[in-house]
């Protein structure tokens, strides 16, 4: 069912705020990736997926910690 999921609709009557929403999502994601480090708990981890009406994803344990900012990366 994944190819049929269209969150903002399509065509002439599609969502007017689609592009602003995409921009905000990109800014938030870039900010999170810039500020935090991510790691899986072990290299052998396998993600479990189950497709019913929507795509259901199993547990995804992550280690998350804030990056250390060095003097070189801070701008006035």
57 marked ligand binding residue: no
Work out the angle at residue 21's Cα, subtended by the Cα atoms of residues 11 and 32, and round it to the nearest 5 degrees: 145
Distance CA 39, CA 32 (A): 14
User: Which structure tokens are listed for 45?
Assistant: 């981890």
The annotation places the binding site at 15
> Residues annotated in the binding site for heme, as ranges?
15
């Amino acid at each position: 069912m994944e190819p049929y999921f269209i969150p903002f609709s399509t065509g002439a009557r599609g969502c007017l705020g689609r592009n602003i929403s995409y921009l905000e999502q990109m800014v938030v994601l870039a900010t999170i990736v810039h500020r935090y480090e991510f790691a899986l708990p072990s290299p052998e981890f396998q993600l479990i997926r189950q497709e019913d009406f929507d795509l259901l994803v199993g547990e995804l344990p992550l280690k998350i910690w804030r990056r250390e900012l060095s003097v070189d990366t801070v701008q006035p």
